Amino acid sequence: MDPKAQKQALEKARALEKAGQADAAVKLFRDAGALEDAARVLGATKGPRDAGRLLFESLRVLPAQVGQLDAAGKKRALMAAIFFGKAGENELAVQLFMGLGEQGRAVELLQRSGDQVGAARLASTKPGQYERGPLLAKPGVSAVGGKAISVISAQKLEEQGKHQAALDAYMQLRRPADAARVAETLGRGGDAAQLYADAGMPAEAAAAYLSAGDTGKALDNLTRVQREDPRYRTAAAQAVRLATNLGVLDFRLEHFLGAYIKSGPQDTTEFQVFDLLAKLYLAHGFPENAREALEKLVQKEPGFPGAHEQLAELNERLRPSAMVARQVLSDADLHKRTTHQKAALPDLGDLPGLPEPATMLRHDLAMVRKVTGPVQPAAHSPAQELIPEAELLIDEAPAAPGKIGEKFALGGIIAGRYRLDRKIGQGGMASVFRAWDLELEENVALKVFGVQLASEVLIARFKQELKMSRQLMHPNIIRLYDIGVHEGHRYISMELLVGKSLKEQMEKPIEFPAALDFLVQACSGLQAAHDAGVVHRDVKPDNFFVTDDGVLKVMDFGIAKQYAAPGVTVVGSIAGTPLYMSPEQIGNFSTVTHLTDLYALGICAYEMFTGSLPFTHDELVPLLMMHVNTPPEPPARRNPGIPPELDAAILRLLEKDPARRFQSCRELGQALSAIRGRYSA
């Protein structure tokens, strides 16, 4: 069909659709090649199953192969998966989601359908493990060639050169490492690679995949080599070269390279690897990481060609600006605190009108030294003391109020895909809208950032939030879907939640067991992040969302860090929310561990159960000094109804020394669950 005829057919199909002649409209849409429109009409009339089948059958591939399609094919496969999910054909929907790398959507589908066990099992599946390959033996077979098998008989078959029989025997015995060795002998490199991966031998799997020419799976397996493995450095160097050739940089690779980068290059070969790594980071918009790699390189090899010049250029490029320092301090609203009141248990009561805790991104070495240095007798600042102007990690001030509204009016179509239905949230840096995804036909939340021409660092943080959050699949972590730009403003599409933030929940009485349950859920979500190597670094009630079903979701990983991995943090920076900052976050923000999140969670708990914060001050520097030096008043003194076990748990979370706190959110969650069980029985 020529373009003119196609256009006429589409116009006629839309007219037929409006007239209620669905079958005729579907036929015309199909004839014009507009299968997505045909599926949309089918889904609304015949049902989602027919719509899904139309889309999937047009692809002419197996579910596991949809990831190899072009962008248009992947889009069609994703729509098919969503339709199948709506139709209750979960198995096929999950296969398609997994084939597309949309593990989070697959997990959510199983959760919504009530299959919590299947969802948990799928969530724990690592990439590449969902499809285990063609060599898996069928269950129930216990013999090869009519004879019973054992390890000895399999070894004899191998020694006799009966490699196919030996391979079958090893597969029967579930000995993938032995089976992989035999598969290599048979020249079946792809099967050998998969078997090595199944055996938990990533270095061998990577080598086999390379021999088979599958560089993507080779890279994926290289990133699974443990740091304790003597082949770790070799694997890291090889991973950098492969990633450079493939032009890829993802969360798993960054986390894997953390220890490698931290130790710096060790020999001439690794000098070249660090140079490649810097270029890789730059190509993906992470200049801070590139600078870190170059700094390590020039420390070990000052004369490496071009390294000094490139490092000097990056230092100049990343030099922070102080343009919006006073705006951020104003946003923090640290000069407008109200008197804090106490609440009683079991109902926590109304919390006081606490200021909106704004997240700050500040770079000021002098302030860090002042806060964390020795405390002088007269160090408490008079009210007239000026806070030294801070240099910020963002170069541009937020867009003036109303400008976003003009470009993102309700009813408008964003990026040709999202229709804005309602504004549901507003923060210091971004607005959040309820939107309808026209392509996938589902409701989403659209987070639109007010900064129009973002700095390199802000762009890096923006990308980091998406990369990290897409990797974190857990019922207590919000799901992020996509990233884009519209009219100069960056946006993120994410899971649409209905409910209130924990901060809003705390404005009304919360029953004691419910408050503990919220904290336990927060522990569960944060533990999943920590297990993935991610520290949130901005834990506060505003970044927890409670749905109408009572499910708590951890949100906003915008300043999160992959611990033991390079980040986008400027040395000497302070980032986070002053009311909830840990001492180590103030003193050495770039090297904090997951224990900083536990401290902030302790502040949240203190606030929930006393109606007040442990540390408050009208000025920023004294407030930060209190986190570093001042012991908190026991929460039970402010609210005598707090059980002794909970009082002790909160104080333990607020220890200045991270080693004296709970050492994991898992441990804390277990302690809180025990308290909840004891006092809610």
Annotated catalytic residues are: 538
Q: How far is the C-alpha of 319 from the C-alpha of 102, rounded, in Å?
A: 38
Within its chain, how far is the Cα of 153 from the centroid?
A: 48
At residue 271, what is the residue type? F
- Asked whether the beta carbons of 600 and 655 are under 8 A apart, the reply is no
User: How many beta carbons lie within 10 A of that of residue 33, not counting itself?
Assistant: 14
CB-based burial label for 141 (10 Å; 0-12, 13-18, 19+): exposed
Give residues with Cβ within 8 angstroms of 83, minimum separation 6: 39, 43, 48, 49, 51, 52, 55
**Is the CA virtual torsion 42, 44, 48, 52 positive or negative?**
positive
| Distance of alpha carbon 537 from alpha carbon 356, whole angstroms | 17
| Block residue for tokens 């490649």 | 276
**Phi-psi sector, 548: left (phi>0), alpha (psi -120 to 50), beta:** alpha
Half-sphere exposure of 185 (CA within 13 A, CB side): 15
Q: How many residues does the chain have?
A: 681
Token match 């069928």: residue?
Answer: 138
Q: If you search the block for the tokens 């990308």, which residue do you land on?
A: 463
- Which segments of 493-547 does DSSP mark as H helices, in order? 502-505, 512-531
With CA atoms as reference, report the closest residue to 418 among 475, 511, 496, 363: 496
Phi, psi at 667, each rounded to 5°: -65, -45
Q: Tokens 């002053």 appear where?
A: 578
Q: Is the Cα dihedral 233, 234, 240, 243 positive or negative?
A: negative
SS3 16: helix
DSSP secondary structure letter of residue 412: P
Q: Which DSSP letter does residue 602 get?
A: H
C-alpha torsion sign, points 563, 569, 574, 579: negative
The CA-atom distances, in angstroms, between 365 and each of 326, 593, 619 are 17, 20, 18
Say if residues 584 and 563 touch (Cβ distance below 8 Å): no
Instruction: Return all residues near 613 (Cβ < 8 A) that are at least 6 apart.
Output: 340, 354, 579, 603, 606, 607
Adjacent-strand bridge partners of 423: 433
φ/ψ bin of 217: left (φ > 0), alpha (ψ from -120 to 50), beta (otherwise): alpha
Token digits of residue 358: 């704004």
